[in-house]
Amino acid sequence: MTSWMLWALLSAITGRPVASLLALVVFWWAADRFTFGVLPDPLRALGRARRRARLGAMIQANPSDRRARFELAQLLLEARRPGRALEMLRPNLEAGDDDVHTAFVYGVALARTGKLAEAERVLGIARAAEPGYRMGEVDLELGIVRLARGDADGAHEALARLVEARPGTVQGRYHLARALEARGDAEGARRVRDEAWREYRAVPAFRRRADRPFAWRMKPWRPAAIALALLVAAALAVRAVGSSSPHRAASLRPPPAASFDD
């Protein structure tokens, strides 16, 4: 509804509904690129889709290819298809794969499908097998799962371990602040958010993309200001195109034919 209202407003200002629609699409894409990064990168998404198709063909030819199943499960999880990732990994588990990599991916897929109790159990197995796996990645997922289950103390324990193992984590501090708030420690949550913002500002620009969704949730006025600026710029651009089009059209018209009276 909001997008429709923006399109109607932009069309009324510029008088060009099609150009306004195109400008609005570009605006939302640009706003997402500069803020939350929710929309997929088209080139990266295409590459991942092609890789998923190749792995699917390999598994169809050889259903017992557990390495291909594991890689495809990871890609499906990244594509937000955790149910299919679970289906892909179950034959690996039935075949006896109990390594930390399989347990971690399976536990995250369980969490993404809402099976929180089972996810916590599987992630606990992964952490027992290798406590420092991916510099605390299991603790991050455990903290998120426990927050979703309403276990603020357990989430705080896991996320505090993560922040200790990975001091520069913005995402970990964001969730740690949530856990502190759930425990009633508003001052501690504010302090952790300030630390997270300082960490975000300190990292190089090329590393900020992954942290941006969590950093800007703590400073929501920043994406709002950028979105407003982009919307104003889009409206001005479409209006400029609309005002210049009649002049260009007039310049392309052939000169009037000579009158016979001349």
Q: Is the whole model's pTM more than 0.85, yes or no?
A: no
> Would the CA dihedral through 136, 138, 141, 145 be positive or negative?
negative
CB atoms within 10 A of CB 151: 19
Instruction: For 43-64, write each residue's pLDDT tens digit.
Output: 677 888 999 999 999 999 999 9
Give pLDDT tens digits for 129-179: 999 999 999 999 999 999 999 999 999 999 999 999 999 899 999 999 999
Which residue matches tokens 């034959």?
A: 91
Residue reference for tokens 């290798």: 130
Location of structure tokens 């300030």 = 194
Q: How far is CA 125 from CA 129, 139, 146, 198, in A?
A: 6, 12, 15, 34
Query: Which 3-state string (H, E, C) describes 181-218?
Result: HHCCCHHHHHHHHHHHHHHHHHCCHHHHHHHHHHHHHH
Residue 196's CB: how many other CB atoms inside 10 A? 27
Domains of the chain plus CATH, in order, are 1-34+211-240 (no CATH), 41-122 (1.25.40.10), 131-202 (1.25.40.10)
For 16, the 3-state DSSP assignment is coil
Specify the pLDDT at position 252: 42
